[in-house]
């Protein structure tokens, strides 16, 4: 079970930090990911982080602007989003993986077993 929070309305160039709190399972032995889905578009992978935070992956358009991190002591995953753009507007989802390490195709939804309900991010121009 994972629950996202931290979404909201922000102006272009602004920042938001999303959080995802996990419960009911082992958080510290699995990779975690962030996905997003804009209206009329497919869900796309934004970022993935290994079980211990030792390696991270990003979708090209967010590289250098978004930072994923995790605090295993708090069972919490974060996504710091800076320099937000209108194209970042979407519902953002947290997801728990199936093993300790993100795979080479981490951005594929079938690689994730547990999904949250999402938190809306809206960036105005």
The pLDDT value recorded for residue 24 is: 85
Beta-bridge partners for 10? 123
**One pLDDT digit (tens) per residue for the chain, 125 residues:** 999 999 999 999 999 999 999 998 788 999 999 999 999 999 999 999 999 999 999 999 999 999 999 999 999 999 999 999 999 999 999 999 999 999 888 999 999 999 999 999 999 99
Residue-level pLDDT at 11? 98
Within 13 A of 97's CA, how many CA atoms are on the CB side?
A: 26
CB 114 within 8 A of CB 1: yes
The predicted structure's pLDDT at residue 67: 98
Query: 118 with 18: CB under 8 angstroms?
Result: no
Q: Which residue's structure tokens are 């953002």?
A: 92
87-111 exposure pattern, b = at least 16 Cβ within 10 A, e = fewer: ebbbbbbbbbbeeeebeeebbeeeb
Would you say 31 and 20 are in contact if contact means Cβ atoms under 8 Å apart? no
- According to DSSP, residue 71 is labeled E
Helix, strand, coil tally for the chain in percent (to 5)? 10, 50, 40
Give Cβ neighbours of residue 8 (< 8 Å, ≥ 6 apart): 16, 120, 121, 122
């Amino acid at each position: 079970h994972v629950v996202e929070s931290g979404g909201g309305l922000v102006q272009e160039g602004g920042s938001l930090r999303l959080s995802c709190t996990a419960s009911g399972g082992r958080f510290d032995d699995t990779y975690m990911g962030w996905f997003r889905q804009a209206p009329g578009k497919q869900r796309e992978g934004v970022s993935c982080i290994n079980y211990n935070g030792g390696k991270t992956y990003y979708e090209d358009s967010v590289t250098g602007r978004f930072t994923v991190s995790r605090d295993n002591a708090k069972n919490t995953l974060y996504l710091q989003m800076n320099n937000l753009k209108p194209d970042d507007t979407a519902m953002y989802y947290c997801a728990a993986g199936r093993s300790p390490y993100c795979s080479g195709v981490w951005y594929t939804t079938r690689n994730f077993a547990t999904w949250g309900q999402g938190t809306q991010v809206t960036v105005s121009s």
